[in-house]
Chains A and B, each alone.
Chain A
Amino acid sequence: MGDVRGRFRDDLAQHPAPPLGDLVQQSVVQGRRLRRRRRLAQFGAGGSALAMLLVIGLAAGPLGVGADDAGQPGGMNVGSPGGSIDTATPSPAGSSDGAPGGLESGTGGDPRRPAPPARSTTVIDTVRIGAGPDGELLTTTPQGALELLTRLLPKGKTSGYASLESSGAGPGMPYVQLYLDRGDGPGMLRLSIYRDNLGGNPVPGTVELTEVPDNCVQNQMVTVHHRGGLQVDLMISTCLFWDAKGTVPAPPVLSVKEATEIAGNPIWGTELPAEFVLNGAKRFPTLDRSNG
């Protein structure tokens, strides 16, 4: 029996799971709706009861039913990327309380401009970096990184795949971009794998959040430090970036929590399982290059 489970585990390892995100919270919200609907159906069984229900419902709706939803984390915003940002782990230093993710800052400044002084980086969490992948590994390519990234992302339509210049990055350290549409229009994400070789790196598993309110491309950047000084940066943009055409506002499509789970996946590295590199090469035979 153990062997069967081991085989299942091996197969699961070949299919990395997307982040759980706020699934439990959303199930509470959905469960409350189910319960309310069931109660309403029970009440509505009798004719006179229905009349009473209408009266009570009208009178108590905003205080009872409505308040129930509003009290939920993300209760009225299920599936909305904007809502999910609010559930992200807040910065303990409170440095960004005034601008939680820049949700409305879709018209950010020129992303090519150097980061303004308002940039703030805070350690927000520590995650456990699991064991790295086994089996045949190949040097991480932009295509391979996109392949893994698209598998780790939550449900949605992806597009706008691109490879970007990354100054100072070595072999196997790509910098890629894609758009993700979770139903509210496309939003941009960028991921880079990087090692600065300067030493003094935070312990593996350290999660940092960098917020640059004036930069819509790197509006929020989650950095997860992996072993060997490697860091994975996942940028949640509030604009789409088109070469030489400027930017257009776009919703942030991941919460910080979701980005942390993605960037903290132990598969990331300067080498990836061959499957991702090979499939990525097939799936993204030609990648746009952005001067982002």
Chain B
Amino acid sequence: MADEDFVEFAQATVGRLRDAAFLMCRDWHLAQDLTQTTLAKVYANWRRVRRADDPHAYARKILLRCMIDQQRRRSSRELAMSAPPERGEEHPAELRMTLLEAVATLPLRDRAIIVLRYWDDLSVETTAEVVGVSTAVVKSQSMRSLNRLRELLGETRSELFAEERH
């Protein structure tokens, strides 16, 4: 049954998909909504998706589109959850920026490239396909974004991305 196939696929991917969404938006509720919408769209196109070479990459492509759509019609609602700056001011231990906060400063496309490459472990080629750019752009933007993250995270974490230089 197609439904059973889909449910099996969805159950295998939902957690990872939602984590990726959260890493891009830093709001679990929004990540949950986006994941549900993504899976609904995957379901609606399931016949095509199941024939794709990599259904998981296809799902990520839809997630990214949902996220771009959502960003276009952004409301104040989604911003309410983000409070790290205030917390940081009141707790010196938290002044140091987390990777999540640093990634949030990147434009959405660059954020997506970082998350897809380094969290989802997608290849340069697959990342390029998901984001809809060339592999050259993925490589150059990855480098640029990692440099930016290094700057933001400061010296204590400068070694973090040492291995990323390629």
CB within 8 Å of B: which residues of A? Answer: 1, 3-5, 7-8, 10-12, 14-15, 17-18, 20, 23-24, 26-35, 38, 151, 154-155, 275, 278-279, 282
Q: A11 — nearest CB in chain B belongs to which residue?
A: B100
Q: A9 — nearest CB in chain B belongs to which residue?
A: B119
Contact with A along B137-164 (1 / 0, CB 8 A): 0000000000000000000010011011
Contact A1 B163 (CB under 8 A): yes
B32 proximal to A (CB < 8 A): yes
SS of A interface (majority)? helix
Contact A18 B160 (CB under 8 A): no
- Chain B residues numbered 112-153 whose CB sits less than 8 Å from any CB in chain A: 114-115, 117-119, 121
Compute how far the CA of A17 lies from the CA of B14 in the bound complex, rounded to whole angstroms: 12
Q: Do A8 and B23 contact each other (CB < 8 Å), given the known contacts A1-B163, A31-B39?
A: yes
Residues of chain B within 8 A (CB-CB) of A275 are 94
Compute how far the CA of A35 lies from the CA of B40 in the bound complex, rounded to whole angstroms: 9
Compute how far the CA of A31 lies from the CA of B18 in the bound complex, rounded to whole angstroms: 17
Contact A18 B161 (CB under 8 A): no
Contact A30 B15 (CB under 8 A): no
What total of A-B pairs shows CB separation below 8 Å?
113
B90 proximal to A (CB < 8 A): yes
B57 proximal to A (CB < 8 A): no
B22 proximal to A (CB < 8 A): yes
Residues of chain B within 8 A (CB-CB) of A14 are 98
The 9 closest A-B pairs by CB, nearest first: A31-B43, A27-B39, A30-B40, A34-B44, A11-B100, A31-B40, A155-B29, A4-B118, A7-B99
Compute how far the CA of A259 lies from the CA of B41 in the bound complex, rounded to whole angstroms: 28
Compute how far the CA of A218 lies from the CA of B37 in the bound complex, rounded to whole angstroms: 34
Contact B100 A17 (CB under 8 A): no
Cβ-defined partner of B36 (8 Å) among A26, A38, A151: A26
Cβ-defined partner of A8 (8 Å) among B42, B43, B44, B119: B119
Q: Do A5 and B40 contact each other (CB < 8 Å), given the known contacts A15-B28, A17-B18, A28-B3?
A: no
Q: A29 — nearest CB in chain B belongs to which residue?
A: B40
Compute how far the CA of A34 lies from the CA of B6 in the bound complex, rounded to whole angstroms: 15
Contact B28 A4 (CB under 8 A): no
Residues of chain A within 8 A (CB-CB) of B46 are 31
Cβ of B62 to closest chain A Cβ, rounded Å: 11
Compute how far the CA of A20 lies from the CA of B38 in the bound complex, rounded to whole angstroms: 14
Compute how far the CA of A7 lies from the CA of B18 in the bound complex, rounded to whole angstroms: 17
Most A C-beta atoms less than 10 A away, residue of B114, B119, B160, B161: B119
Residues of chain B within 8 A (CB-CB) of A24 are 7, 10-11, 14, 39
Known: A27-B37, A28-B6. 5 other contacts (CB 8 A): A4-B114, A14-B98, A24-B39, A31-B39, A282-B90
